[in-house]
Amino acid sequence: MSKYDIIVLGSGPGGYVTAIRASQLGFKTAIVEKENLGGVCLNWGCIPTKALLKSAQVFEYLKHADDYGLTVKEFDKDFGAVVKRSRGVADGMSKGIQFLMKKNKIDVIKGYGTLKAGKKIDVDGTEYSADHIIVATGARSRELPNLPQDGKKVIGYREAMTLPTQPKKMIVVGSGAIGVEFAYFYNSMGTDVTIVEYLPNVVPVEDEDVSKQLERSFKKIGINVMTSAEVTTIDTSGEGVKATVKTAKGEEVLEADIILSAVGIKTNIENIGLEDVGIAVDRDKILVNDFYQTNVPGYYAIGDVTPGQALAHVASAEGILCVEKIAGMHVEPIDYGNIPGCTYASPEIASVGLTEKQAKEKGYELKIGKFPFSASGKASAAGNKDGFVKVIFDAKYGEWLGCHMIGAGVTDMIAEAVLGRKLETTGHEVLKTIHPHPTMSEAVMEAVAAAYDEVIHI
């Protein structure tokens, strides 16, 4: 039996980062993976979707070339080539993880891993043991009872990335990050897209102002948005699919070639031996403490299988903290109130901290500032004036409670707010920090100025 210091089960952005950090700290490390290194994020999620969205963005630029004083007489899309490029990007990233495993002397054990008592993992009949076993098996597309996925007419995100032909009509059920990103992509490619969202607002976890802006932007480009709506039944017996949608006005039947179910994720915790080991689970999540230890000594869990936010960067941070704690380093628990969230549709969305509604519910007296990109010189020059930056401060102490952005490139801007909040900066400190002009990022300073009644440009 092969013996290791640490074995990581799963090689997504939680698992592979954990393994590398463990190796850096001197642990003899192995990683177990049943598919491709990099997990869902690199192969079927974060990375290939961004490649698809980049193609959509370039196609949009070509469509609007005349807005920039350019003449493009003939252009078209090749849907198959767009998908192929996306897969190529994913393959390249996965090969990069293979290189990192070799560089860091991490043993890659290919196969299906099952936890065993006594700090062991069985991988397709071969047992391995370790002093510490870290579960990082991630999650998959969640299926609703009334919306079963057949992989052809009712699909999840994996199939949405590799459809052999472009659908003429698509219904997207759910308007979280996955739903709105695919809605934007297929709409840009020329598909007639309808979003069906059960809650009153699209991207319901975001600040309400952001949700309303995205709905306006989507409707402007021809996406049909139905909120407070529920798909009650589907009929796949015909050539396409029919969905009965219940709204406040009654029932409506929508017809499409394909339904994309984007109603959240389901953790991959079945059939990995949790019951055999006695690891505690609650509501589809493995229970862990602040340092990702389960109730059974020697077994840990990170990423989507635990109660924190199901985001790639969260899984990576959790894995690093987990192995640093194992190594005896002094580590502080992650502040889950300061995790940035990003959605890569167009316009992009990025946020951190409390929404306005949440801040009011907590009893804060607020100073709120908004700066529209329509007043930004850089946004005007780039032709991307949709959206705004919204900041929320505690009026009493100046604490930066939340930051919410919607617009071009905002996913690259949110880190300023995350870092500022981490360093406990105040509104006045942000306001007196000189931001470069002309940039999209100066909208953060302008929004803070608006909160303190010092705004210049609106």
CB neighbourhood size of 331 (10 A): 16
Question: Do 201 and 328 share a structural domain?
Answer: no
Catalytic residue among 64, 428, 437, 457: 437
CA–CA dist 91, 89 (Å, integer): 6
Residues facing residue 6 across a β-bridge? 29, 132
End position of a domain, from candidates 263, 283, 318? 263
Question: Do 167 and 80 share a structural domain?
Answer: no
Are 303 and 15 within 8 A, CB to CB? yes
Owner of token pair 């480009």: 221
Exposed/middle/buried for residue 145 (C-beta within 10 Å: 0-12, 13-18, 19+): exposed
Pairing, β 258-261 against β 169-173: parallel
Judged by DSSP in three states, 70 sits in: coil
* Assigned domain for 457 exists: no
Q: Which pTM does this prediction carry?
A: 0.95
* CB contact set of 322 (below 8 Å; sequence gap of 6+): 18, 134, 291, 292, 300, 302
CA–CA dist 291, 293 (Å, integer): 6
pLDDT of residue 457: 87
pLDDT of residue 1: 67
Among 143, 145, 146, 141, residue whose Cα is nearest residue 246: 146
* Assigned domain for 149 exists: no
Domain region containing 107: 2-141+266-336
End position of a domain, from candidates 336, 367, 397? 336
Question: Do 102 and 16 share a structural domain?
Answer: yes
User: How many structural domains compose the chain?
Assistant: 3
Question: Do 291 and 275 share a structural domain?
Answer: yes
End position of a domain, from candidates 263, 290, 306? 263
Question: Do 363 and 228 share a structural domain?
Answer: no
CA–CA dist 173, 26 (Å, integer): 46
Give the alpha-carbon dihedral of 345, 189, 12, 123, to 10 degrees: 150
* Assigned domain for 198 exists: yes
458 residues of the chain, pLDDT tens digit each:
689 999 999 999 999 999 999 999 999 999 999 988 998 888 888 899 999 999 999 999 999 999 999 999 999 999 999 999 999 999 999 999 999 999 999 999 999 999 999 999 999 999 999 999 999 999 998 999 989 999 999 999 999 999 999 999 999 999 999 999 999 999 999 999 999 999 999 999 999 999 999 999 999 999 999 999 999 999 999 899 999 999 999 999 999 999 999 999 999 999 999 999 999 999 999 999 999 999 999 999 999 999 999 999 999 999 999 999 999 999 999 999 999 999 999 999 999 999 999 999 999 999 999 999 999 999 999 999 999 999 999 999 999 999 999 999 999 999 999 999 999 999 999 999 999 999 999 999 999 999 999 999 88
CA–CA dist 447, 431 (Å, integer): 9
pLDDT of residue 311: 95
pLDDT of residue 365: 97
CATH code of the domain containing 430:
3.30.390.30
pLDDT of residue 401: 98
Angle at 167 between CA 161 and CA 169, to 5 degrees: 120
Question: Do 359 and 331 share a structural domain?
Answer: no
Pairing, β 224-226 against β 192-196: parallel
Answer yes or no: 457 catalytic: no
CATH code of the domain containing 122:
3.50.50.60
